[in-house]
Structure 1
Amino acid sequence: MSDRSTRKIVLLVEDNRQLSEAEGAFLESAGYDVDYAMDGMEGYRLATENHYDVIVLDVGLPRIDGLEFCRRLRTEARKATPVLMLTARDTLDDKVAGLEAGADDYLTKPFAVQELRARIEALVRRVRREVGGGEQLEVGGLVLDLLSHTVKREGRTLNVSPIGMQLLSILMRASPAVVSRQDIEREIWGGNLPDSDTLRSHLYNLRKVVDKPFDHPLIHTVMSFGFRIADARSEVSAT
């Protein structure tokens, strides 16, 4: 029996038994331990009771679907476990809905199992980089603690997704400088670059959490260059 304390563990939530067995067998052959759930409620129970490095989550599930699963995981259980969402739908609205629910990445069916593995490994590497940071970043009353995976603004705790954490880390380390879209995508996704809507969707969701509840924005788009995070009020007062 494998030592689960040292191996990467994936929760696979998929109601198609044939697909689930094929994906699980491939991941196990690649060195992962895999737990299985055939419906959203059972998957949610396992996700909240155990530690997983990544959750691979189908959208079309019985009992509760993948979107509701993800929303509950983020808002009720307050779990930051990376979620790779699987969907047969390929429209922009469907992708945005998944990211808004709290997913970190997605794959459109059908896909190659090699790409599934690559996406999982990218999520694992990303989280381990964040945990290894062990430091606190602060810009304009926004505080990101990379050790505890918490974000606060003006003392209020914010519910930020794992990719949102990575975006904040990149922008806050560079602040007040501008970071290009290309540099952000390379830092987060490495060689597995997403389509052009993915970064935009994550930034949109991040702004809703970090900026919308407050009286001034910290995340700024610099046209034709990229993005930055800064308190523009303090920059004006300093000039």
Structure 2
Amino acid sequence: MRILIVEDNRDIAENIADYLEPLGHTLDFAVTGPGGLQLATSNSYDVIVLDVMLPGMDGLSICRALRERGETSTPVLMLTARDQLDDKLMGFAAGADDYLVKPFSIKELEARLKALVNRHERHGTSDTLQVGTLHFDLGTLRAERDGVSLELNPVQRKLLEVLMRNSHRVVTRDELEREVWGEDPPDSDILRTHIYALRNAIDKPFADKLLQTVHGTGYRLTEPEDSRN
């Protein structure tokens, strides 16, 4: 993998390099926000690692700028010392694909980066997901069904992306919680609340229902039977 690491903590950057480079990965480094943005827009990378707190320009602003400029096909993993739900939601809203809280295992970082790259390659370069008449543009974060724009918050958009990418199968509750909140999901049953709101947005105004509850397991987003025949 060719990886861009934007991290101003030199110890962390060196630890990442010491682990990843002997494994055959090619790494570029930036220690400031503007420097990271310049490298990200002038080179091609398989994945980008962005620290949130950077001198000159924070990681959220960099990620947002990349998405707004159309650099939407490169997966982005955010690094932060702040393990708060609001911080994670801000990262996803800015266009990040994953979120890792410091301190972290370099082994876990590599595993997450590989998963992001594999998922990206599996789905090709298309930035639009489709299930039936439901479309979700990953670049603009715009969702619509039957041409009707759907209003979704950042958590609902992340849930929708995961469900649409896995529309061939049931996605478990644990998987959904891990995708949205990482390894530290909230104690309350907030997932059920967000699924309820997502269902109201994508299904309630329409005759055919796409979002199915598989009791005791999780959820599945799929086309109506008659549209698959």
TM-score over 0.5 (shorter chain): yes
Alpha-carbon distance change, 164 to 80 in structure 1, aligned in 2, over 3 angstroms: farther
Unaligned runs of 5+ in 1: 1-7, 146-150
Q: Is the 8 A contact 2:76 2:98 kept in 1?
A: yes
Q: Is the 8 A contact 1:80 1:162 kept in 2?
A: no
Which residue of structure 2 aligns with residue 196 of structure 1? Answer: 185
Per-residue CA distance 1:12-36 (angstroms, 9 max, x = gap): 0011123212212221112100011
Which residue of structure 1 aligns with residue 107 of structure 2? Answer: 114
Rounded to whole Å, the distance in 1 between the matches of 2:221 and 2:17 is: 40
Which residue of structure 2 aligns with residue 71 of structure 1? Answer: 64
1:226 aligns with 2:222: no
Rounded to whole Å, the distance in 2 between the matches of 1:80 and 1:123 is: 11
Which residue of structure 2 aligns with residue 148 of structure 1? Answer: none
Rounded to whole Å, the distance in 1 between the matches of 2:183 and 2:59 is: 20
Unaligned runs of 5+ in 2: 138-142
Rounded to whole Å, the distance in 2 between the matches of 1:231 and 1:70 is: 32
1:180 aligns with 2:169: no
Aligned-partner residue type, residue 27 of structure 1: L
Q: Is the 8 A contact 2:131 2:164 kept in 1?
A: no
Q: How high is the TM-score relative to the length of structure 1?
A: 0.66
Which residue of structure 1 aligns with residue 51 of structure 2? Answer: 58
Among 131, 135, 140, the alignment partner of 2:124 is 131
Which residue of structure 2 aligns with residue 168 of structure 1? Answer: 164
Which residue of structure 2 aligns with residue 95 of structure 1? Answer: 88
User: Alignment partner of 1:24: what SS?
Assistant: helix
CA RMSD of superposed structures (Å): 4.3
1:14 aligns with 2:7: yes
Rounded to whole Å, the distance in 1 between the matches of 2:148 and 2:121 is: 25
Give the deviation of 1:167 after TM superposition: 3.5
1:40 aligns with 2:33: yes
The percentage of counterpart residues that share the same residue type is 41
Alpha-carbon distance change, 18 to 57 in structure 1, aligned in 2, over 3 angstroms: same
User: Alignment partner of 2:117: what SS?
Assistant: helix
Q: How high is the TM-score relative to the length of structure 2?
A: 0.68
Give the count of matched residue pairs.
206
Alpha-carbon distance change, 132 to 102 in structure 1, aligned in 2, over 3 angstroms: closer
Alpha-carbon distance change, 101 to 127 in structure 1, aligned in 2, over 3 angstroms: same
Rounded to whole Å, the distance in 1 between the matches of 2:41 and 2:202 is: 28
Rounded to whole Å, the distance in 1 between the matches of 2:12 and 2:147 is: 45
Give the deviation of 1:37 after TM superposition: 0.9
Alpha-carbon distance change, 184 to 108 in structure 1, aligned in 2, over 3 angstroms: closer
Per-residue CA distance 1:120-168 (angstroms, 9 max, x = gap): 11212222222299xx8541x23579xxxxx87557999x999965541
Give the deviation of 1:77 after TM superposition: 2.9
Rounded to whole Å, the distance in 1 between the matches of 2:175 and 2:10 is: 39
Alpha-carbon distance change, 80 to 194 in structure 1, aligned in 2, over 3 angstroms: farther
Which residue of structure 2 aligns with residue 23 of structure 1? Answer: 16
Alpha-carbon distance change, 164 to 16 in structure 1, aligned in 2, over 3 angstroms: farther
